[in-house]
Structure 1
Amino acid sequence: MPPDPAPSSPSRTLRAASFGAVGDGVADDGPAIARMLEAASGQSGVTLAFDAGRIYGVRSARTRYVFDLQDQEGITLDGGGSVFELASHLRFLRLRGCRRITVRRLKVDFRPLPFADGVVVGVDQASGSLTVRVAPDDARRLIGGPTHEDGEQAFFGILWYDGPYSTIGRHYWLARTEPTDRPDTVRAIATEEFTEFSDIRAAASPGSAEGPAWRISLPAPGIAHRYGPGACFSIRDNDTASFTDVELWSAPWMGFEVARNTGRLTFRRVHVRQKPGSGRLMSTCRDGFHVKGNRAELVWDGCILSGMTDDAFNISTHGSVITRMLAPNRVEVRQKFPLLFIPWRVGSLFVAADERARKLLGRARVTHVETGPLPPPIQGEPAAPVSALTLDRPITGLKPDALAWDASSANPRTTLRNCRIEMSCRLQSPVTLDRCEVTALLWFYCDPLEGPFPGPVTITKSALRRGRGNPVHAVIFSGASDKAESGDPPRAIHDVTFRDNTVYGGFVMEGVEKANVEGNRFLEADAPFIVMGNHRVRLSGNWGPGGRSLP
């Protein structure tokens, strides 16, 4: 793999202290950062440098992003290893239309936190509630429920309990949190949607032989689960960026959104996790990395992901539906999810599949694109238009309602290397995992909104354990369908290499085209090993517990 493109030598260094930044964790350093950004506006080759060992408290910003860069080139943001502590309505970094951006040596946290952790001390299934012991200061700020403001989405906490290999989480759908007659406890009342009370273990009385109590992270009303301006790090429509030695310890919504970028993006030792040494259970209120519709080469190396309430990685693009056949080689398509439009381009690789049967119909190159008028915005965001595409060849079986996507912008060169992942991953586009340690479900599948189908997929020399996402299985390839002709090749999940891995938990591969499963060790006794309904699958040198050869 080629090295990252070397940025040009910085022509100027701007130091935060020169603009009045204090970094004592008390003062609002937002105005100083705003002055610093104003001085860098319109310039290239600028380093924004912060002192080491500081806590930069940021309570205000020019926009709701502390660092909001657009159409800039060659900017380096060097945090000096310091912490940036943000007010809850802010987010840290937005990059739009930038080139050759470097972000390094910084840590991001929020004050107040979007959640508070506690211990379950009482379970009342009849009333659908839990009594939770928390710090008295936390008890006061947890009172309330959903506000339905600032893009707030589903409102829930996370129950945590000990699994065989790691702490496991379960969503706790929350109607409201009420005070009790004690300053250090609250009553968390579930919505009707949550019914799984029977196995929740409350704190035992002294001397009890019961196991450890379940813990819970409760959302702070008015902070948690708010989309607000977007992810804490929003990286859209850029050409080449690198992130090194960056930590994100909490966030009211997603950690990183990585969408529609080109060139090469690298994330080295970028950790989305609980603050080390804090004893926290949670990190972000949604995905760690939400990756969508990139043409760029994407590399994560040596990253740690833990504690988010949703997926560690959600890697996909947006699928489109064929709305009309204008000619045998000309189609009208509409993106299924109306936001974050993934534009078609001349030269794009058009791929079509039967969505229900999960059968690949064919591929063609786009030779002409006509983009229709923009529909009205949705909640202030641009909506996806209809596009008319001319293909270089007809595709047999292509008809209205078929699923289509641009494989050129479906994250076609994505690598996760030497990463430690402790939350589930939803992977719907090409990806390579090499020497990773995953204690959670790896799920390869297709969602018609967040397609397409993953392929090629390569997983090598990794340790994979069941955990968050599925109590039984460590790896699932979901390419099968209940449609009668669903077994017909070619399959939409295709070209899978699964080699030299160690697996603790179930392994399922269904409805896959062309897979090589060899040299793996499946070490958990009685764990399911299901390989069925596939085409051109090679199984070789795989071993079960006790050195037993697997078929």
Structure 2
Amino acid sequence: MKRMMTFVFSVAAIFAVQAADGHFRVDLDGRQDRVTLTSEGGGEMNAVPQGWIKDPEAQKCTLMVWSRRKTSSTEWKICSFRFIPSKSGTVVLSVGAGEETAGENRRIQLLVDQIMLNGRLLPNGNFQQTYRTDDGRTVPTGFAAGGEAVLLPSAGLNGPAMLVSHDSRLGFRIKVEAGRSCELAFRVKTAPEQPSRPTSDTSLQEQLDRAVKDGKKTIELSAATYRLNETLRLRKLKDFTIDGRGAKLLMTSYVAAMHIEQCEDLTIRNLTVDYDPLPHTQGTVLGVDVENKLTRLRLHPGYPRPTNLTPIQAYPFSADRRQYKEGVNEHYGSRLIPREDPAEYDLWTHEPPVDFSAGDLVALRFGRYPCFWIRLTRNLTFETVTVNAAASLVFVARSCTGLQRYKDVRILPGGTLPPGATEPRLLSAGADGINYENSPARIELENCEFSFLGDDSMNIHGTALPLYRQISEHVIRILAPEDYSRLLKPGMTLRLLEPGNFTILAETPIASIKHLAEKAPEETKALFPRTMSIPPCRDIYEIALENPLPEVPAEAIIDFKEMNGLSFSVKNCHFHDHRAYGLRMMCSNGLIENNRFERLKGSAIVFGGEYAYWREAGFVDNLVIRNNVIDRVANYPDAASFAAISSIGRPEKRDIGVSRNGSRNIVIERNTISNCPYGGIQLFGVKNITVKDNILTDIGTVSPAWPRAVTLGFETMQPISIGSSVEACTIEENQICETK
């Protein structure tokens, strides 16, 4: 609490010039509980229903209240008003100023240092108790700060005050009783004008390009905020560092923040990335029509209205905990249908919306671009980087090598609310936090925190590719992306996989690789399922193998062990409140140690290939999962795995069995797992695995198992469940307590 924003040291230092006076304003909203609000009139404040609400019934639940006289910058003034609620419920208040400007088109700013309710101080109405938001701001406990609203520790009459304006407001809620008059009183003063915070409209791309041209190896950002309408492009930088020095990159269009390509030894540190407007929105469910697959919802004030009404991804949240609803489906490819009130929509979903109830919150994702797009880059470090919003993937990397390092990286919903908003953000990003594909690299995470993602925390994988043609027992041809010409090396391991269940038929080192000039016929695109993350490939590679292959079955696929990643470590990280998995690892030679996983709808840790649907490779060899704390995960029965820690590798069809020799050499030890409804540890299709000294508490059981689990060899789901094709498995010294 002692660490305040750097410009908040003393009132005298901040307020250097006299400011124009302005009107104090409060907006009241009782629509959540359908509470009609009636102003009692009189006094020094005007009150009318909010005219921008077009639905007449909804408008009755709102008031806009403003002072008849302007506030003063020389003395504090009490602004009070009364209203009567029609029923008991919750009313949301937003405190700010009128629309006046104070020169150079800057909004009038007011100070508020005390709030009284019915003659008594509102809980924490003098702002003495505070909390720190995910983006580092200090905010009074029980309140939300929108826009640039900020707490000033000594600007009040006898202590702190909130600095607010028309676009930067203080939000809070009160409980009201039917028919009982409510009086609210605010102590207010016009804030003397502040010197503007440093921002930059100079092209950051130009600054970067100039630094590179001048031979500099480091660029330090001087502004506090850079508003960027276009992607910052980093191409062929070598031995270069970008030090943000705490700067924020505020993206003003739905594009990637950075595109990093063909760089080497690049470091990016001390940055925050956010979007304005946000690439997703949110609201409250008003009602559900299951038969017609419609959910009526109202967007929260201040949050963007989607310009494209389809496809929309909808995520149900609980209103009381503001977390993903447990055990329910999300809705993909949905469509928004506008209603007469511009803030209200009907959400049409492919499946009946049985997962929604009136009063639930819902997050809606409509963007598609990643935040950081990384390709063909060797030795990359992100350090002390925070991302507060991303449309889909946050860090997406393809065809990278060397050491890829993430230290003190945070992906969290931003604490800065959109102008006019009072509800905290629900989502940080719409998809994975980190996603690596076809990158023979070492990937390290340390001291990171990822939360409120629309998919996995981290996914490392390669690609399962079609075997195009067998020339001889030592020579084959495959179809693969163009980048493979840079990445495949002699000595890497090719794995030949049986169609359907992906049993490894052969493993052999590569002797040589030749990228052929000819292209495969157009019809070979049919060999690539539409669910693959790479588009259909027509580049042909001829690969000579050190050892002969057996007879290759029709429709066989292959992967390259090293292309799935060389090695990885994830240590001392915190992953919580995601829609899907924590770690989804298909890379060998890994260590997952001393991490905390909480409130994930999917498993905390899964390992092995997802060949069947996504064509993501591959099976894992040499993995240690140790000393992790896992609580309240894997509550999603429709997932491909059901336990906190699980192998994966489902077959393409349920009746053909799982791989007979998938992941191997796995150690799962000294982990603490609790409150998981369907299982703690789940294993199938693995070899040479040790499970020891784990503590499992309050783990649910399922008997008989679901059809999907039966496919994997599970007759029942237990705290530790062993399915099909498990060979050389040691289970010892585990503690299982209070099984449900």
TM-score by length of 1: 0.80
Asked if the contact 2:278–2:303 (Cα under 8 Å) also holds between the matched residues in 1, the reply is: no
Per-residue CA distance 1:160-198 (angstroms, 9 max, x = gap): 238999634742235432444445x4123223x222x23
Asked if the contact 2:334–2:347 (Cα under 8 Å) also holds between the matched residues in 1, the reply is: yes
Q: Which amino acid aligns with 2:510?
A: V
Deviates more, 1:366-375 or 1:380-389: 380-389
Quote the Cα distance in structure 1 between the aligned partners of 2:396 and 2:474: 35
Per-residue CA distance 1:338-379 (angstroms, 9 max, x = gap): 687584222222222324333222322211112133759999
Q: Give the unaligned 5+ runs of structure 1.
A: 1-22, 147-153, 204-213
Asked if the contact 1:50–1:79 (Cα under 8 Å) also holds between the matched residues in 2, the reply is: yes
Distance 1:473 1:97, change over 3 A: same
Taking the TM superposition and a 5 Å limit, the aligned residue runs for 1:375-414 are: 375=519, 383=537, 385-396=539-550, 398-414=552-568
Quote the Cα distance in structure 2 between the aligned partners of 1:176 and 1:485: 37
Distance 1:487 1:124, change over 3 A: closer
Q: Give the unaligned 5+ runs of structure 2.
A: 1-194, 418-423, 526-532, 702-717
The residue number in structure 2 matching 1:177 is 336
Per-residue CA distance 1:71-112 (angstroms, 9 max, x = gap): 121111111112110022332222211111110001000110
Quote the Cα distance in structure 2 between the aligned partners of 1:316 and 1:436: 21
Alignment length (residue pairs): 487
Does the alignment pair 1:160 with 2:160?
A: no
Quote the Cα distance in structure 2 between the aligned partners of 1:35 and 1:269: 28
Identity of aligned residues (%): 18
Does the alignment pair 1:532 with 2:726?
A: no
Per-residue CA distance 1:109-157 (angstroms, 9 max, x = gap): 0110011222222112133222223334437x236512xxxxxxx5312
Does the alignment pair 1:447 with 2:610?
A: yes
Does the alignment pair 1:344 with 2:488?
A: yes
The residue number in structure 2 matching 1:315 is 460
Asked if the contact 2:649–2:659 (Cα under 8 Å) also holds between the matched residues in 1, the reply is: no
Quote the Cα distance in structure 2 between the aligned partners of 1:478 and 1:123: 35
The residue number in structure 2 matching 1:239 is 378
Does the alignment pair 1:513 with 2:657?
A: no
Alpha-carbon offset, residue 486 of structure 1: 5.2
Asked if the contact 2:571–2:594 (Cα under 8 Å) also holds between the matched residues in 1, the reply is: yes
Q: Which of 493, 513, 516 lines up with 1:369 in the alignment?
A: 513
Does the alignment pair 1:359 with 2:498?
A: no
Alpha-carbon offset, residue 443 of structure 1: 2.8
- SS of 2:722's partner is strand
Quote the Cα distance in structure 2 between the aligned partners of 1:320 and 1:78: 39
The residue number in structure 2 matching 1:420 is 574
The residue number in structure 2 matching 1:258 is 397
Asked if the contact 1:360–1:492 (Cα under 8 Å) also holds between the matched residues in 2, the reply is: yes
Per-residue CA distance 1:446-467 (angstroms, 9 max, x = gap): 2232112233322110012343
The residue number in structure 2 matching 1:187 is 345
Deviates more, 1:92-101 or 1:438-447: 438-447
Quote the Cα distance in structure 2 between the aligned partners of 1:143 and 1:428: 37
Quote the Cα distance in structure 1 between the aligned partners of 2:659 and 2:563: 27
Alpha-carbon offset, residue 262 of structure 1: 1.6
Does the alignment pair 1:127 with 2:292?
A: yes
Considering Cα pairs closer than 8 Å and 6+ residues apart, tell me whether 1 or 2 has the greater RCO. 1
Asked if the contact 1:99–1:239 (Cα under 8 Å) also holds between the matched residues in 2, the reply is: yes
Distance 1:511 1:34, change over 3 A: closer
The residue number in structure 2 matching 1:541 is 733
Per-residue CA distance 1:376-402 (angstroms, 9 max, x = gap): 999998945121110111134544533
Q: Which of 428, 431, 450 lines up with 1:286 in the alignment?
A: 431
Distance 1:525 1:266, change over 3 A: closer
Taking the TM superposition and a 5 Å limit, the aligned residue runs for 1:294-313 are: 294-313=439-458
Distance 1:487 1:217, change over 3 A: closer
Does the alignment pair 1:47 with 2:218?
A: yes
Distance 1:463 1:427, change over 3 A: same
- SS of 2:432's partner is coil
Does the alignment pair 1:96 with 2:266?
A: no
Q: Which amino acid aligns with 1:513?
A: K
Does the alignment pair 1:499 with 2:691?
A: no
Per-residue CA distance 1:507-527 (angstroms, 9 max, x = gap): 211121110111111112434
The residue number in structure 1 matching 2:363 is 217
Asked if the contact 1:323–1:400 (Cα under 8 Å) also holds between the matched residues in 2, the reply is: no
- SS of 2:239's partner is coil
Quote the Cα distance in structure 2 between the aligned partners of 1:475 and 1:339: 35
Distance 1:51 1:41, change over 3 A: closer
Alpha-carbon offset, residue 316 of structure 1: 0.5
Distance 1:130 1:452, change over 3 A: same
Q: Which of 106, 109, 115 lines up with 2:274 in the alignment?
A: 109
- SS of 1:317's partner is strand
Taking the TM superposition and a 5 Å limit, the aligned residue runs for 1:55-66 are: 55-59=225-229, 61=230, 65-66=231-232
The residue number in structure 1 matching 2:357 is 201
Q: Rg bigger for which structure?
A: 2
Distance 1:384 1:311, change over 3 A: farther
Distance 1:541 1:380, change over 3 A: closer
Deviates more, 1:449-458 or 1:98-107: 449-458
Quote the Cα distance in structure 2 between the aligned partners of 1:261 and 1:90: 22
- SS of 1:358's partner is coil
Alpha-carbon offset, residue 201 of structure 1: 2.4
Quote the Cα distance in structure 2 between the aligned partners of 1:99 and 1:444: 30
Q: Which amino acid aligns with 1:443?
A: V
- SS of 1:84's partner is strand
Alpha-carbon offset, residue 545 of structure 1: 0.7
Does the alignment pair 1:32 with 2:203?
A: yes
The residue number in structure 2 matching 1:330 is 475
Asked if the contact 1:120–1:133 (Cα under 8 Å) also holds between the matched residues in 2, the reply is: yes
Quote the Cα distance in structure 2 between the aligned partners of 1:515 and 1:78: 44
Quote the Cα distance in structure 2 between the aligned partners of 1:371 and 1:37: 36
Q: Which amino acid aligns with 2:490?
A: V
The residue number in structure 2 matching 1:19 is none
Quote the Cα distance in structure 2 between the aligned partners of 1:341 and 1:406: 11
Q: Which amino acid aligns with 1:122?
A: G
Q: Which amino acid aligns with 2:721?
A: I
- SS of 1:408's partner is helix
C-alpha RMSD over aligned residues: 3.2
Distance 1:288 1:339, change over 3 A: farther
Quote the Cα distance in structure 2 between the aligned partners of 1:391 and 1:483: 33
Asked if the contact 1:331–1:388 (Cα under 8 Å) also holds between the matched residues in 2, the reply is: yes
Deviates more, 1:297-306 or 1:348-357: 348-357
Quote the Cα distance in structure 2 between the aligned partners of 1:470 and 1:160: 14
Q: Which amino acid aligns with 1:243?
A: F
Asked if the contact 2:295–2:356 (Cα under 8 Å) also holds between the matched residues in 1, the reply is: no
Quote the Cα distance in structure 2 between the aligned partners of 1:535 and 1:190: 47
Deviates more, 1:400-409 or 1:174-183: 174-183
Asked if the contact 2:200–2:225 (Cα under 8 Å) also holds between the matched residues in 1, the reply is: no
Asked if the contact 2:274–2:389 (Cα under 8 Å) also holds between the matched residues in 1, the reply is: yes
- SS of 2:205's partner is helix
Q: Which amino acid aligns with 1:72?
A: L
Quote the Cα distance in structure 2 between the aligned partners of 1:405 and 1:372: 19
Alpha-carbon offset, residue 473 of structure 1: 2.6
Asked if the contact 2:236–2:263 (Cα under 8 Å) also holds between the matched residues in 1, the reply is: yes
Quote the Cα distance in structure 1 between the aligned partners of 2:309 and 2:325: 24
The residue number in structure 2 matching 1:248 is 387
Quote the Cα distance in structure 2 between the aligned partners of 1:405 and 1:493: 14
- SS of 1:523's partner is strand
